[in-house]
Amino acid sequence: MIKLCCVVAACLLAAGTTPKAPGAHPTLDPHPRVEKVLGADISFLPQLEAEGMHFYDHGVQKDAIRLLKDNGFNYIRLRIFVHPAADSGYSPKGYCGLHDTKKMALRIKAAHLKFLLDFHYSDTWADPGKQYKPHAWRGLPVTAVADSVGAYTRAVLEALKAQGTLPDMVQVGNEINHGLLWPEGGSAHLDTLAEYLRAGIAAVREVAPKAKVMLHIACGGQNAESRYFLDNMIRRGVVFDVIGESYYPQWHGSLDDLRNNLTDLETRYHQDVIVVEYTQRKKEVNDIEFALNGKHELGTFIWEPLNTWEQFIDRNGRTVDSLIDIYPTVKKTYHIP
């Protein structure tokens, strides 16, 4: 998945005062009423299983979702594309479309785990470097694209609701600090971007009123860029519950940058702050996140740990014990249910 660092526009806000340093004691539970998320994005799983991959937890064969649960995870994230089998789409076989999402949602709920659904609003990857419209929406005027965002979001959630697997949290867009549904929804057109987001959020509130709504940006260590995006969306009437940040050190700075940004955001805004994508520095990222003064949620989602980047499952499906063993310790240290 291609990630790009946020570009600092000339009109960005200044970084402000120095954030306070977090100081939660690692053996105590400073947030007894805050829901704690230890999550993983495993959207590749149906493809891996179709290719014949099996999974082994310290030598014992297990279903991948059971393996994650047994190692402390309590939340699963899935991405969804509009028409992944379309020309230039994500997958000719339709992986990460509604059909796979429904099947995976049933497995997640059967395992008594929570479920975050990540709408890309594209037929393929959407991130700061590309936010391509679905083929079926190209050429539509802005109002019709906004209507399509709402109708599509509503249809997906209605399908999940019909089988009893509504998500517990919904991302309206993926890494959208440079906008979504380009070009009209790009960051140079903030009013249109906000219109698209409001349409998607309205559909979530209608069909899944208990679900938390997340706005996801890829600015883990960039405070000014984060604030610029959030302030502009809030100013335009975009109402959401959770700020999601991606953190990859090669694009988003040092661990101190991450700590300072997250600490400022959770102080400055009434929304909670979650690291919704990361792969490296597993222990450190979780320590930084769970030291925040969360209001309702605290947590992290590791990105595709079964097969991508610093994965904790090797190519033979076996756990890399030095990496996966971090998570039971995080669970115990921060009293994650």
The CATH number covering residue 234 comes to: 3.20.20.80
Q: Look at residue 248 and tell me if it is in a domain.
A: yes
Q: Examine the residue annotation and report whether 184 is marked as an active-site residue of this protein.
A: no
In this structure, what token pair is assigned to residue 37?
């998320």
Identify whether 34 is part of a domain: no
User: Does residue 57 belong to any structural domain of this protein?
Assistant: yes
309 in a domain, yes or no? yes
Backbone CA torsion sign across 150, 153, 156, 157: negative
The yes-or-no answer on residue 175 being catalytic is yes
The SS3 call for residue 183 is: coil
Domain presence at residue 123:
yes
Beta strands in the chain (DSSP E): 35-41, 55-57, 60-62, 75-80, 114-119, 169-172, 212-217, 242-246, 272-277, 297-303
Tokens coding 135: 């083929």
- Domain count across the chain: 1
**Residue-level pLDDT, tens digit, the chain, 337 residues:** 444 444 333 333 333 333 333 333 333 444 446 799 999 999 999 999 999 999 999 999 999 999 999 999 999 999 999 999 998 899 999 999 999 999 999 999 999 999 999 999 999 999 999 999 999 999 999 999 999 999 999 999 999 999 999 999 999 999 999 999 999 999 999 999 999 999 999 999 999 999 999 999 999 999 999 999 999 999 999 999 999 999 999 999 999 999 999 999 999 999 999 999 999 999 999 999 999 988 888 999 999 999 999 999 999 999 999 999 999 999 999 999 9
Q: Which domain holds residue 121?
A: 41-333
> What is the spatial distance between Cα 4 and Cα 190, in angstroms, rounded to a whole number?
20
Residue 23 lies in a domain: no
Residue 19 lies in a domain: no
Catalytic residue (choose from 35, 175, 289, 297): 175
| Residue 167 belongs to some domain of the structure | yes
Which of 184, 245, 277, 304 is catalytic? The answer is 277
